[in-house]
Every structure is written in C-alpha cells, then in structure tokens.
Structure 1
C-alpha cells in the first residue's frame, strides 16, 4: 500500500482537569486566608488548624496564589498563638472581657 497516507486523528487535549485543579487549589488558598483571618477573632481553636490545612493543600496542589496560601498559614499559626496566650492568661479557651 504505497502512496496512501495514514490519518493520525488525535483527540484534542483538554485543559479542563488542569484548570479545575488549579482553581480548586486557588480556592484552598483563599479559604486558608479567610479562615486564618476570621480565626483571630472567633473560634481560633477550630479555624487556626483549618487555615493550616487549607494553606498546605493549596501549596501542594500548585496554587497560583502562593502568597495568599502562605499568609493563611501564617494567620493559622497566629490563631494558635493567640489561643495559647489566652489560655495562659486566664486559663480558659474563650475570650473574656470581664475583669
């Protein structure tokens, strides 16, 4: 069969999984920042570790918002430091304004 050409029909490579994965990683970075920032005011026992987990997930999944993920991690650590300071100051896990 000389003179015939083979048609190499290839399916178009979809960028959708990569785009979806990147978007999910970016969402984790934003969630890390928001939970870390909110955790400074309320529920730092719960939101601090959440910020650490979300920030780590964002970085390991290749977010394009690396700065926001690192800031979320830093805020998560700050949440836990505030929790430790409050616990050391008044021996409880809650805010107290009464003196």
Structure 2
C-alpha cells in the first residue's frame, strides 16, 4: 500500500504534467488567436509546471517559449498597426 505522501506527490506531478501540456497547447494556439490573453496564461502555466516538478519539461519549456513568442507577436502587431487587433486587408 502506498503512503499518502507518495500519492500526494503523484497527484502533484500529474497536475504539473497537465499544466505543461496546457501551456504548450495554449502557447501554440496563442500564435494564431488571442495572443494578448493566451500568451501570459501559457507563461504562467509553464512556470507553475516547471516549479511543480513536471516530467514533461520539454513541453513546459516549449510552452514558455511559445508564450514569449505570443507576446513578441503582440508587440510586433502593436508596433505595425498601433493596435493589438489582427487586421486582414
């Protein structure tokens, strides 16, 4: 029988793994839409996942990089258009 400490540790690690995957997906999605919202969320989830001891460090680091890329796209859009909205045409 497992101790309650190891069960809690396993639950924390699974939660951190889920946050790592979520940060990657949200960071990737943020490159296309809602980068002003999804970029900071991806950054936050990636940092929490890395701090929580995720076994999916690669995905957490990709989520971190994509979160920064989302903010870079936002800054480029703001500099080019003077707005944070996408504009086609």
Pick the TM interval, shorter chain: over 0.9
Greater C-alpha radius of gyration = 1
For structure 1, the residue ranges without an aligned partner over 5 or more in a row are 1-10
Say how many residue pairs are matched.
88
For structure 2, the residue ranges without an aligned partner over 5 or more in a row are none
- The residue correspondences of 1:50-61 to structure 2 (distance < 5 A) are 50-61=41-52
- Structure 1 runs of 4+ aligned residues shifted over 3 Å read none
The CA RMSD measured in Å over matched residues stands at 1.2
In the superposition, the TM-score normalised over structure 2's length comes to 0.94
Does residue 32 (structure 1) correspond to residue 23 (structure 2)? The answer is: yes
In the superposition, the TM-score normalised over structure 1's length comes to 0.85
Name the one with the larger helix percent: 2
Query: Which structure's relative contact order is higher, taking Cα pairs within 8 Å and 6+ residues apart?
Result: 2
